[in-house]
């Protein structure tokens, strides 16, 4: 695992619930996260960082690329939404994508099981040229927790963590409609949505 200097400074190489999904439980009181599915990029004793993967914004890739002076002409990508990744650094872009050993971007965090998060513009330049990751999603902003904060919220049943195989994780994030990602993750645990309550806890 490699962390480049442009990534948030609290990240380290040790993980806990990293590379898992977090599902906001019905008892979640923070409107920023109600109903959210978060892919957890990093979780250490210093804090945690993740991206919300089921809340598209009204901004689409075609518009965003135009704003950063890149020409995107790949038809299937033009109307792909940019997602709300969380309430921290909402002006900053984060690209979650499948890992390719040939990719050499300036600022990337290789997570696990074939997923990487990149914050440098060169990944978007690669997308525009048709040489980018085959599967990716882009968010503006990220979700962050200070030391012990996520653990406390999980202890209060604000979140349920969902470990998944690499294939199923990729399928949910990249291939499942955003409206179905919460339901699909719950299904992997054998739960019915109607059975969930604020008393749910760790998976």
Task: For each of the domains in the chain, give its residue range(s) and CATH number, in order of start.
Answer: 21-195 (3.40.1740.10)
Spatial CB neighbours of 140, under 8 Å, sequence gap ≥ 6:
57, 59, 82, 83, 84, 85, 90, 91, 92, 93, 94
What's the pLDDT at 191? 72
Spatial CB neighbours of 77, under 8 Å, sequence gap ≥ 6:
61, 62, 127
Backbone angles phi, psi at 201, to 5 degrees: -135, -135
Other beta carbons within 10 angstroms of residue 4's beta carbon come to: 14
What's the pLDDT at 193? 62
Cα–Cα distance, 33 to 103 (Å, whole number)? 32
* Helix and strand counts by DSSP (H, E) for the chain: 6, 10
pLDDT tens track, the chain, 203 positions: 334 434 444 433 344 899 999 999 987 878 889 899 999 999 999 999 999 999 999 999 999 999 999 999 999 999 999 999 999 999 999 999 998 777 788 999 998 778 999 999 999 999 999 999 989 999 999 999 999 999 999 888 899 999 999 999 999 999 999 999 999 999 988 876 666 655 444 44
What's the pLDDT at 103? 75
Q: Are 43 and 17 in contact (CB under 8 A)?
A: yes
């Amino acid at each position: 695992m490699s962390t480049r200097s442009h990534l948030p400074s609290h990240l380290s190489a040790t993980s806990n619930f990293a590379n898992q999904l977090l599902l906001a439980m019905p008892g979640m009181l923070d409107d920023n996260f109600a109903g959210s599915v978060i892919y957890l990029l990093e979780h250490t004793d210093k804090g945690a960082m993740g991206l919300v993967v089921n809340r598209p914004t009204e901004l689409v890739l075609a518009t965003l690329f135009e704003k950063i002076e890149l020409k995107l002409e790949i038809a299937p990508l033009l109307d792909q939404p940019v997602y709300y990744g969380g309430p921290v650094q909402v002006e900053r872009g984060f690209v979650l994508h499948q890992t390719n050993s040939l990719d050499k971007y300036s600022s990337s965090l290789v997570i696990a099981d074939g997923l990487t998060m990149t914050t440098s513009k060169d990944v978007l330049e690669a997308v525009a040229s048709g040489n980018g990751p085959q599967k990716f999603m882009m968010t503006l902003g990220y979700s962050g927790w200070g030391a012990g904060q996520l653990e406390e919220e999980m202890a209060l049943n604000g979140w349920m963590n969902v470990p998944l195989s690499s294939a199923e994780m990729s399928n949910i994030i990249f291939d499942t409609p955003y409206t179905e990602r919460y339901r699909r993750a719950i299904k992997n645990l054998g739960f019915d949505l109607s059975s969930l309550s604020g008393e749910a806890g760790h998976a």
